[in-house]
Amino acid sequence: MLSLENIEVSIGGSQILRGVQFHVPEKSVTCLMGRNGVGKTTTLRTITGLLRQSRGRITLNGRDISAMPPEERARAGIGFVPQGREIFPHLTVEENLHIGCVARGMKIGAGLDRIFTLFPILKEFLPRKGGMLSGGQQQQLAIGRALLTEPKLLILDEPTEGIQPNVIDQIGDTIRLLREEGKMSILLVEQYLDFARELADEFAIMDRGAVVASGPIANLTEEVIQAHLVV
């Protein structure tokens, strides 16, 4: 459903991505992995249109989105939960939830009830400022905000980073549920190996700005892990 072909990206004169190439199959969970600083976030920001590639092509369901601005990619069905969550700390939970849809000119329909079923704490905290929430609750808010836009491809950048184990489990359950519903494809950056193994159908590992291994999660062998993931 999503394909990256030979993507090159430079930031401030230094080349960060050196021909990134991988595929996210329809209705699957694909886990993008790799050590710190290899270019995972840069790859996601390039897919969402926040960064522009100097070479290469990105297609979504066969349609070339390489030249589209971020808003148009969002309307085409790409939802993004950035690393560090990036919720608005001075807006309420309710305002934070609405803002993703407002930005896309969408109405929130029955979507909110579903978000409250997935993350009941958000309903309870609707009038609270986003900044008052714990890290895990902010992560749930960021995922809820992205889901309200009803993406075809949900992209999550390290959703488990810096949050407590019980919330990690809850986020894992949510991803599993979304996968079972079979309405969207999910691209997940994750450093936590067990979490990736439990949830992913496919993996791609990056090293120094390129994908160096990819395939079905069963092919993520100890040898591959030793070569590309162990620090």
Ligand X SMILES: Nc1ncnc2c1ncn2[C@@H]1O[C@H](COP(=O)(O)OP(=O)(O)OP(=O)(O)O)[C@@H](O)[C@H]1O
Q: Which residues bind ligand X (CB under 6 A)?
A: 11-12, 16, 34, 36-42, 83
What is the C-alpha end-to-end distance of the chain, expressed in Å? 32
Task: List, edge to edge, every strand of the sheet that includes 63-64.
Answer: 14-24, 2-11, 55-60, 63-64
Query: How many CB atoms neighbour CB 6 within 10 A?
Result: 14
Rounded least distance, CB 32 to ligand X, Å: 9
Tell me which residue has its CB nearest to Mg ion: 41
Interaction between residue 42 and Mg ion (CB under 5 A): no
- Spatial separation of the C-alpha atoms in residues 85 and 87, rounded to whole Å: 6
Rounded least distance, CB 2 to ligand X, Å: 18
- Spatial separation of the C-alpha atoms in residues 81 and 186, rounded to whole Å: 11
162 interacts with, out of Mg ion, ligand X, none, CB within 5 to 8 A per kind? none
Tell me, residue by residue from 73 to 102, as one string, x for binding to Mg ion by CB under 5 A and - for no binding. ----------x-------------------
Rounded least distance, CB 84 to ligand X, Å: 9
53 interacts with, out of ligand X, Mg ion, none, CB within 5 to 8 A per kind? none
79 interacts with, out of ligand X, Mg ion, none, CB within 5 to 8 A per kind? none
- Spatial separation of the C-alpha atoms in residues 20 and 54, rounded to whole Å: 12
Rounded least distance, CB 99 to Mg ion, Å: 23
73 half-sphere exposure, CB direction, 13 A CA radius: 26
Quick one: which H or E segment has residue 39?
none
Interaction between residue 41 and Mg ion (CB under 5 A): yes
What SS3 string covers 177-209?
A: HHHHHCCCEEEEECCCHHHHHHHCCEEEEEECC
- β-sheet bridge partners, residue 155: 80, 187
Nearest CB to ligand X, comparing residues 38 and 196: 38
73 interacts with, out of ligand X, Mg ion, none, CB within 5 to 8 A per kind? none
Nearest CB to Mg ion, comparing residues 41 and 214: 41
11 interacts with, out of ligand X, Mg ion, none, CB within 5 to 8 A per kind? ligand X
Nearest CB to ligand X, comparing residues 34 and 77: 34
Of 43, 48, 49, 60, nearest to 8 by C-alpha is 43
38 interacts with, out of Mg ion, ligand X, none, CB within 5 to 8 A per kind? ligand X
Which residues lie near Mg ion (CB under 5 A)? 40-41, 83
